[in-house]
A and B are shown apart, each in its own frame.
Chain A
Amino acid sequence: MADINFKLIKNPLSKENPITVQVLGICSALAVTAKLEPAVVMSLSVIAVVVLSNLIVSLLRKTIPSRIRIIVQLVIVSLLVILVDQVLKAFVYEVSKQLSVFVGLIITNCIVMGRLEAFAMSNKPFDSVLDGIGNGLGYSVILITVGFIRELFGSGTLWGYPIIPQSFYEMGYQNNSLMIMPPMALIIVGIIIWIQRSRNKDLCEN
């Protein structure tokens, strides 16, 4: 196991981040980040799906006829998504209701399909798993950051527990309702991209 390719995990966290650099999976990033808890659950679900589907597709990559590969990939992904959905319904029913349709929409999440097409179809199973972990984590980092900011300023809580003390509200502080609306998620993702690009000039277009 000495040949773990750490780049496969490290790159998606920074300069190949699926959300901030490749701008994939934006839809779910807007929809599930109003609170921290659904954001974390969503992240875990995507990590599970992307890792397992990468593994399965990579194992099957030599037997999948290239003309129907998208269909085969979709079948594998949807199988995993249904499994994840059932697990969520069984163990975290409340969160599963909040996530509603977006768990099902992991099937169409561009990150999953993108990794299958770009990586798992042409790489060995072990590398594919690492790639899946990396990209899932890259997605999660952004989702959890956005969820953290939105819940803290939008509802004054974190994971449902009140964080901002009552005395602040008595002094006239108010929660920012714009934070709970989807446009603010887009703006926060934009600001993250801004910060990332100003730190890493390689990402800027000329």
Chain B
Amino acid sequence: MKWVKNIIDNLKPNFSKGGKFPWLHSTFDAFETFAFVPKTTTKTGAHFRDANDMKRTMFLVVIALVPALLVGTYNIGYQHFHSLDTSIGLFDNIWENLWFGIVKILPIVLISYIVGLGIEFAFAQWRGHEVNEGYLVTGMLIPLVMPPDVPLWQLTLAIIFAVIIGKEVFGGTGMNFLNPALLARAFLFFAFPSSMSGDKVWIAEKADAFSGATPLAEMMVGGHHPSLSFLDMVIGFMPGSIGETSVIAILLGGILLLITGIANWRIMLSVFLGGTFMGLIFNFFGSNSYTQLPFYYHFVMGGFMFGAVFMATDPVTASQTNRGKWIYGFLIGLMAVLIRVVNPAYPEGMMLSILLLNVFAPLIDYFVVDSNIRKRKKRWNLKGGENV
């Protein structure tokens, strides 16, 4: 690695003040710290030091996404060949499936990173900030919530919209109140509905004769219970967004996030509690086949699992207080099931419910903090509004 160090040290004067490209300083800085631990440290003030800095956190989340990505890649190929010839089994042509999946997913991942990181670098440059690692995770989440056949120019537009309007406008990483990956998906969903919904898009280059309906669409449009069994949906070789289909792969990543403490267990648990609560209400009063669907089916259909594990737990957009996290998660699960079952226009409620609660998270925090202040005032027998 010595030679990399030499190259960087030789180039450094060009990018410092008085060099040839001082305006590219933060780009250079980003690549330098990407390769080496910087020499300089903070000089003033007290600081907590922790091995778990942002770079490592982001990298762990990307690792946690790998199982979903691999299964998703294989699933793209399998669904494609399966739709052409339904007699093909799951493991009949492993390499063709994988190859087809890679050819489909690679452009999506590349565009996601090139466009997103390009915007991040440009804004950091323009503002004179350091480039930070926030986009590493978003760039991996975006491909996983897309249908495999998404047109690439629409994907590009969605990423530009999500990164600029959802994130950079509010000040970049850590300042956004909406999850950028979900915002990209929501943009596509509302702007180009024909490439984000219906039963045409969930299998890459599907044969026309084959029905490509996801379990959610079967419930919503067909009005009958999913044709796949519960166990099949847990394993997840079914039509759907690239990374959302396999519950097992998502849970593998989820366990890693929980062990490392990056995702908050309160949020994850309460999302399922909320979903269970709403599902049980529907089961109890239900009169049609959708409301009578056992509540645990909601967890394995569509993006519920992926949203609960990777999207709702995003530390930036979630509530910050512990009690707020319970409320936030519970309402996400509740709204997701409610939108799915009741609103015929939106078969998948998870995306919308997480975005909705993202907006409300600061308000939830405000009330939690406020109630705590009032409780403490009461404990000291102070009248409301009296400052001590």
Listed in ascending order, the chain A residues whose CB lies under 8 Å from chain B are 172-174, 176-179, 181, 187, 190, 194
Contacts and interface: CB of A to CB of B under 8 A. Distances in A.
B187 A174 contact: no
B165 A181 contact: no
- Contact count band on B: 10 to 19
B192 interface: yes
B151 interface: yes
Contact of A187 (B151, B157, B165, B192): B165
Interface in B325-363: none
B191 A177 contact: yes
A73 B151 CA distance: 55
B154 interface: yes
Among A172, A178, A179, A181: residue with most chain B CB under 10 A: A178
20 contacts: A172-B151, A172-B153, A173-B153, A174-B154, A174-B192, A174-B194, A174-B195, A176-B157, A176-B191, A177-B190, A177-B191, A177-B193, A178-B187, A178-B190, A178-B191, A179-B191, A181-B190, A187-B165, A190-B169, A194-B169
A179 B187 CA distance: 10
Interface string B147-173: 000010110010000000100010000
Contacts, number: 22
Contacts of B154: 174
Contacts of A173: 153
Contacts of A174: 154, 192, 194-195
Nearest to B164: A191
Interface of B: 151, 153-154, 157, 165, 169, 187, 190-195
A7 B210 CA distance: 67
Given A177-B192, A181-B190, 15 more contacts: A172-B151, A172-B153, A173-B153, A174-B194, A174-B195, A176-B157, A176-B191, A176-B192, A177-B190, A177-B191, A178-B190, A178-B191, A179-B191, A187-B165, A190-B169
A179 B190 CA distance: 9
Contacts of B165: 187
Contacts of A177: 190-193
B64 to A, nearest CB: 31
Contacts of A178: 187, 190-191
Contacts of B195: 174
A125 B194 CA distance: 55
A174 B192 CA distance: 7
B168 to A, nearest CB: 10
A150 to B, nearest CB: 12
Contacts of B191: 176-179
A189 to B, nearest CB: 12
Contacts of A181: 190
A178 B196 CA distance: 13
A190 B161 CA distance: 13
Nearest to A177: B191
B185 to A, nearest CB: 13
